[in-house]
Chains A and B, each alone.
Chain A
Amino acid sequence: EAGVVQSPRYKIIEKKQPVAFWCNPISGHNTLYWYRQNLGQGPELLIRYENEEAVDDSQLPKDRFSAERLKGVDSTLKIQPAELGDSAVYLCASSLSWDRVDEQYFGPGTRLTVT
């Protein structure tokens, strides 16, 4: 079974530039999560989708961050414009449903460096 796929794996951009991350969850997983992990910190949930609906985006900085999951499968997380403090690893995870938290599988992450 293929795991959660993320791309790109690494991205270096200058501040004020836009950037987008892509996630393909495990087939059949209805719940998709985007996390941000700063160096030396645990992951911080940015947004959670149940199918195509964003059900928890309270930690998403909405002035510059946006996300979509149009057909309830793949998802894109965008930052525009990027700031130096956005440098982090962006993790995508998926699970069968919102209550199957013990079966949440993480992707390899995208390491973003903003210069």
Chain B
Amino acid sequence: EDKVVQSPLSLVVHEGDTVTLNCSYEVTNFRSLLWYKQEKKAPTFLFMLTSSGIEKKSGRLSSILDKKELSSILNITATQTGDSAIYLCAGIASGNQFYFGTGTSLTVIP
């Protein structure tokens, strides 16, 4: 059965800390992996990763895919209270089937 597992389920940090969120996947005919940030409303796109070992970066956020380990990490440096959200990871199969993880709930305390 195809699945995506995220860890930790929740995380509480102080402003300025660096966090690493993990995503592992078992997706048949894997094509790419997506990261989303979900605040109170709908998920918003962060990164799409297709190639192993190539880091994607956007401001304080960065992500990388390891196809050998079937995993990805999302790093957030110098966290801010505005980073508090649920971070979702999704594995995409070649037929465009989406498999979302349960998410990691991040809380950043001032």
Contact = CB atoms under 8 A, between A and B. Distances in A.
A103 B41 contact: no
Interface residues of B, number: 21
Interface of B: 4, 32, 34, 41-45, 48, 88-90, 92, 95-98, 100-103
A14 B34 CA distance: 36
A65 interface: no
Nearest to A106: B42
Nearest to B98: A45
SS of B interface (majority)? strand
A37 to B, nearest CB: 8
Interface in A11-60: 33, 40-45, 48, 56
Contacts of B44: 106
Interface of A: 4, 33, 40-45, 48, 56, 91, 93, 98-99, 101-109
Contact of B4 (A40, A42, A107): A42
A42 B90 contact: yes
A99 B96 contact: yes
Given A91-B42, A106-B42, A106-B44, A101 B102 contact: no
